[in-house]
Amino acid sequence: MAMRKVIESDISGKAGAATVTFGLKDTWFEIDLTDEEREELEKTLERYATKGRKATGKGEKKRLVPETTPEEREQIREWGRQNNFEVPPYGRIPKKVQKAYDEAHNIERSK
């Protein structure tokens, strides 16, 4: 037996809707709209979008912590202590320690 998922519009209750994501005042929203409702929303927002500028970093979280394993983080902490850096026993590794470690070991991390 096959099952079908039907999404209804949050506005009209009509079937055949799809989820649309949009942002307003630092908050992202999702709403289920039919094609016609989506077009109406886009037409309304287009007036503002054409006068605005594309925001940087909105909608996706920028990773602030470099990709490291728990073992590597412990090695960085130990290296930092041996090289006279103040390194907390747990929590965030200071950026200057991470940078110095990476430079000393010729590691280039994607940012």
Distance of alpha carbon 19 from the chain centroid: 19
Closest by CA position to 21, among listed 47, 59, 56, 49 = 59
Domain extent listing, the chain: 18-49, 70-104
Closest by CA position to 68, among listed 79, 82, 83 = 79
Stretch 76-97: mean pLDDT, rounded?
Answer: 90
Q: What topology is assigned to 70-104 in CATH?
A: Dihydrolipoamide Transferase (4.10.320)
Q: Is there a contact between 23 and 29 (Cβ–Cβ < 8 Å)?
A: yes
Task: Write the pLDDT tens digit of every residue in 20-69.
Answer: 888 887 788 888 999 999 999 999 988 888 888 877 765 555 556 667 88
pTM: 0.46
Higher pLDDT, 111 or 103: 103
Tokens for 4, please give them.
């079908």
Answer yes or no: is pLDDT of 111 > 70. no
Label residue 76 exposed, middle or buried (CB < 10 Å: 0-12, 13-18, 19+).
buried
